[in-house]
Amino acid sequence: MQSPGRFWSFLFLRCPNCRQGHLFNSWIRWIQMNDHCSCCGLTFYPESGYFVGSIYINYGTTVAVVIVSLLVFRTVPERFQLVFFSCLAALTSLAFFRHSRSLWITIDYWINPWKPPELAGGACSEDRDRRED
């Protein structure tokens, strides 16, 4: 079976190397990112401050969404515009937080891949967990 593409791994928040392991733990702790891939062992934090670039992606996306919304929602009364667009910017940046990190690590790994540590077995531990249940 052909492995999923880079866009797929970005969109579904998967490891940029094996494209199977999850970047994030769960929807309950939605902001907490895994330290490494549970399938191939690739570290998701190759260096300190690694995800500063994702902040720029998130900021650019938020600005783009607010600018488009300013054009679309011109009918919002002026007295509500500051509150409306401030809330929209805050919600957009929160909503795109995971995908901005996923996009950053996907692009960076595509340009300059780093090696995962050697793992015994090589099978995804998520798959092993499911088989053991």
Can you give the binding site for Zn ion, defined by CB under 5 A? 15, 17-18, 21, 37, 39-40, 42
Q: Which is nearer to Zn ion, 38 or 92 (CB)?
A: 38
Residue nearer to Zn ion on the CB measure, 4 or 53: 4
Query: Of 93 and 106, which CB lies nearer to Zn ion in the complex structure?
Result: 106
| Closest approach of Zn ion to the CB of residue 21, in Å | 4
Residue 82 CB burial class (10 angstroms; 0-12, 13-18, ≥19): exposed
> Please, what is the minimum distance in Å from the beta carbon of residue 14 to Zn ion?
8
Minimum gap (Å) between residue 127 Cβ and Zn ion: 12
In whole angstroms, how close is the CB of 40 to Zn ion at the nearest point? 3
101, 33 Cβ separation under 8 angstroms:
yes
For residue 53, give both structure tokens.
């670039």
Nearer to Zn ion, 37 or 103 (CB): 37
